[in-house]
Chain A
């Protein structure tokens, strides 16, 4: 947080002039095998398969000999069960069934417990108890916009400090925007440094300094709107929390620096859809701005086309002629050709979308993962995804 960061409404970044070219291939195995790679962060819009990608990368790295921990945020129930992390205890557990010399631990983030632990580590037991019982704290620690992102970062910092693993793979929360993950510490910082915070602290610090006309107006208005009780709760919370602010800010800054460190690699995950690729584009540009290391782009759930097919137009021309006939075999042939045409159109559209991304973000190593027929919910499935990610 020492570096000033741009807001969302920032300028686009790119070559500004250029034509489409094939993007380089993301070499997943080289990334995972490199002992210098210590942290892999998987980010992207919601619903693109971030968690599965993170788990698959973790498993692959472990089976290639590394000591890995995967931090997941909100895994699907069956995937969590198969990895043995379906109980929320905020501690990494060994995943059984991993082959080879490496090891894989996994955990699911418990946002509230993580927050509580930070408070407990920063305050005296008496003060911690006072904070943990405050209704305002209870609400913030369980539903404050950005708490999940911030706590994911906090947990990442904790895991890193133990030195117990040589690779940490992080899944990011299912935010509206992939950028939320990077913005969370700043949001916390603006919370801590905000004018309103200082205002709430004013009575505790001695009213003389801040007892301006504005202050009186604001507390008056607030009492009118939210009532004196809420204002008092907030004041108690802020006063109790005040001494922890420095510690909190320091931790957030350290974690942010960790994300900029050379051993960190961001893997941006997308689906071949306009919205997901747009999010990915913003994220890639933002990483450039923050000087954070981008490993590459994973395009999940891609449609594929076998060799030797027909163009959509020719297939549809055939469908029309067959439909006139009406025999059973003609019906099957027409159906198959129609499906083929549909598939060709989808593949062409996805290729066009990826091509647009590659033009505006050339040089981003990319791997395209074909859509699997069913959800992944066991190690075998993760192994398969890992293979596809590595281009096996």
Chain B
């Protein structure tokens, strides 16, 4: 049984450089591999999804980018653009006719999406809300079992999701306010979780812990922490202890290496032991951060650092790892 059976909206955030988009994509694949119809959204205009899946840049339209051969799951992707979202919203909810075009011509659309604070975020989350609550206004639109949102980074996530607070003082009533209220009720419901991606280093872990505290304070549901880029686990605790204490039996090591390598292992032994000690030191630091992550008190998932980088095959592997650990 996966950990988030009733969740429809998975928001994925993380500090820059931790692999937030990769994790969002892997989670979306994992969900689709279970036979679900999944939508993966990005909101930062980066075309990160297209790059990861090696497909053409995504338009403001839901495009199918992956299909599960078994189980029939489908993955769709959408790059949400605030200007398009505003025009679509206006067309859907207001029969503005010529006024709608005038808004664009007078620079109101541009103003609202690049300048007006908070409005941009309401538009972006508003589109996600629309995809999660398809209604008769959007005729023939697809229903999704799950939506994965590649969201802004941890430092900005609470502000991004806290659309009501952002608009407070600006729009105290009127349609924008009620739109924000509707979005907020979805984001604070049990249909939503916010997952945080981190690596096992001090600063990202601290930022993750701070992010969780902020989300909780804002009443936003915290999901799991995905620990990404975990170092290889080739040495066990005893071996690492030996390396750290300088207690490696180098003679025996030389014999073993000499047996399998067709060269004099002499100089190599020192290199390998030095590398091993360095690795053991970093693993110890990782363990300390892992304990901090565990202290946050939410489910955690770990993904390995892949030496070859992330391509489609790597995404499949990461998706499989998330499935095995119960995230999807």
Residues of A within 8 A of B (CB): 45-48, 74, 76-77, 135-136, 138-140, 142-146, 174, 176-177, 187, 190-191, 194-197, 199, 214-215, 217-218, 220-222, 224-227, 229-230, 233, 271, 273-276, 306-310, 314, 317-318, 321-322, 325, 327, 329-340, 342-343, 345-346, 349, 373-375
**Which residue in B46, B175, B281 is a CB contact (below 8 Å) of A176?**
B46
Tell me how far the C-beta of A192 lies from the nearest C-beta in chain B, rounded to whole angstroms. Answer: 10
A48 to B16, alpha carbons, bound, how many Å? 8
A321 to B46, alpha carbons, bound, how many Å? 45
Specify which chain A residues have a CB less than 8 angstroms from the CB of B169 in the assembled complex: 135, 138-139
Tell me how far the C-beta of A32 lies from the nearest C-beta in chain B, rounded to whole angstroms. Answer: 25
**Contact call A274/B309, Cβ cutoff below 8 A:** yes
**Which residue in A139, A221, A333, A337 is a CB contact (below 8 Å) of B96?**
A221
**Which residue in A194, A330, A340 is a CB contact (below 8 Å) of B110?**
A194
Let me know if B17 is at the binding interface, CB within 8 A: yes
**Contact call A214/B155, Cβ cutoff below 8 A:** no
A4 to B110, alpha carbons, bound, how many Å? 19
**Contact call A345/B307, Cβ cutoff below 8 A:** yes
**Contact call B308/A375, Cβ cutoff below 8 A:** no
**Contact call A339/B261, Cβ cutoff below 8 A:** no
Stretch at the interface among B73-81, B184-192, B211-219, B231-239: B231-239
Tell me how far the C-beta of B294 lies from the nearest C-beta in chain A, rounded to whole angstroms. Answer: 19
11 A-B pairs (CB sep. < 8 Å): A45-B17, A191-B115, A199-B107, A199-B108, A221-B99, A276-B17, A309-B268, A310-B268, A321-B259, A329-B252, A332-B235
Let me know if B298 is at the binding interface, CB within 8 A: no
A217 in contact with B17 given A225-B175, A306-B274, A332-B242 (CB within 8 Å): no
Which residue on A lies nearest to B279, using beta carbons? Answer: A339
**Contact call A196/B98, Cβ cutoff below 8 A:** no
A125 to B137, alpha carbons, bound, how many Å? 50
Tell me how far the C-beta of B279 lies from the nearest C-beta in chain A, rounded to whole angstroms. Answer: 5
Let me know if B8 is at the binding interface, CB within 8 A: no
A338 in contact with B234 given A76-B203, A76-B206 (CB within 8 Å): yes
**Contact call B272/A337, Cβ cutoff below 8 A:** yes
A271 to B172, alpha carbons, bound, how many Å? 44
Interface size on B, residues (CB 8 A): 78
Interface SS majority for chain B: helix
**Contact call B281/A308, Cβ cutoff below 8 A:** no
A329 in contact with B16 given A144-B117, A336-B273 (CB within 8 Å): no
**Which residue in B249, B271, B285 is a CB contact (below 8 Å) of A306?**
B271
Specify which chain B residues have a CB less than 8 angstroms from the CB of A138 in the assembled complex: 169
A215 to B166, alpha carbons, bound, how many Å? 28
Specify which chain A residues have a CB less than 8 angstroms from the CB of B155 in the assembled complex: 74, 174
Interface SS majority for chain A: helix
**Which residue in B203, B248, B276, B285 is a CB contact (below 8 Å) of A339?**
B276
**Which residue in B117, B171, B253 is a CB contact (below 8 Å) of A140?**
B117
Which residue on B lies nearest to A46, using beta carbons? Answer: B16
**Contact call B253/A329, Cβ cutoff below 8 A:** yes
8 A Cβ contacts from B105-160 to A? 105-108, 110-111, 114-115, 117-118, 120, 152-153, 155, 159
Tell me how far the C-beta of A335 lies from the nearest C-beta in chain B, rounded to whole angstroms. Answer: 4
Let me know if B303 is at the binding interface, CB within 8 A: no
**Contact call A47/B16, Cβ cutoff below 8 A:** yes
**Which residue in B103, B114, B166 is a CB contact (below 8 Å) of A218?**
B103
Which residue on A lies nearest to B155, using beta carbons? Answer: A174
**Contact call A273/B17, Cβ cutoff below 8 A:** yes
**Contact call A314/B261, Cβ cutoff below 8 A:** yes
**Which residue in A191, A227, A332, A339 is a CB contact (below 8 Å) of B253?**
A332
Let me know if B90 is at the binding interface, CB within 8 A: yes
**Contact call B107/A194, Cβ cutoff below 8 A:** yes
Tell me how far the C-beta of A154 lies from the nearest C-beta in chain B, rounded to whole angstroms. Answer: 17
**Contact call B171/A226, Cβ cutoff below 8 A:** yes
**Contact call B102/A218, Cβ cutoff below 8 A:** yes
9 extra interface residue pairs, beta carbon distance < 8 Å, beyond A221-B96, A339-B232: A146-B114, A191-B114, A195-B106, A196-B106, A217-B102, A230-B171, A309-B268, A339-B279, A375-B201
A337 to B278, alpha carbons, bound, how many Å? 14
A121 to B83, alpha carbons, bound, how many Å? 35
Specify which chain A residues have a CB less than 8 angstroms from the CB of B172 in the assembled complex: 229
A373 to B273, alpha carbons, bound, how many Å? 17
**Contact call B170/A139, Cβ cutoff below 8 A:** yes
Specify which chain A residues have a CB less than 8 angstroms from the CB of B90 in the assembled complex: 225
Which residue on A lies nearest to B17, using beta carbons? Answer: A47
Let me know if B56 is at the binding interface, CB within 8 A: no
**Contact call B15/A47, Cβ cutoff below 8 A:** yes
A194 to B172, alpha carbons, bound, how many Å? 25
A336 in contact with B307 given A214-B102, A329-B256 (CB within 8 Å): no
Which residue on B lies nearest to A314, using beta carbons? Answer: B261
**Contact call B17/A271, Cβ cutoff below 8 A:** yes
Specify which chain A residues have a CB less than 8 angstroms from the CB of B285 in the assembled complex: 373-374
**Contact call A194/B111, Cβ cutoff below 8 A:** yes
A136 in contact with B176 given A218-B108, A329-B253 (CB within 8 Å): no
Which residue on A lies nearest to B113, using beta carbons? Answer: A145
Specify which chain B residues have a CB less than 8 angstroms from the CB of A224 in the assembled complex: 94, 96, 175
**Contact call B108/A333, Cβ cutoff below 8 A:** no
Tell me how far the C-beta of B67 lies from the nearest C-beta in chain A, rounded to whole angstroms. Answer: 26
**Contact call A349/B309, Cβ cutoff below 8 A:** yes
**Contact call B99/A220, Cβ cutoff below 8 A:** yes
Tell me how far the C-beta of A298 lies from the nearest C-beta in chain B, rounded to whole angstroms. Answer: 15
Let me know if B291 is at the binding interface, CB within 8 A: no
Specify which chain B residues have a CB less than 8 angstroms from the CB of A314 in the assembled complex: 261
A336 in contact with B174 given A306-B271, A322-B256 (CB within 8 Å): no
Tell me how far the C-beta of A189 lies from the nearest C-beta in chain B, rounded to whole angstroms. Answer: 12
A273 to B16, alpha carbons, bound, how many Å? 12
A342 in contact with B175 given A333-B253, A336-B235 (CB within 8 Å): no
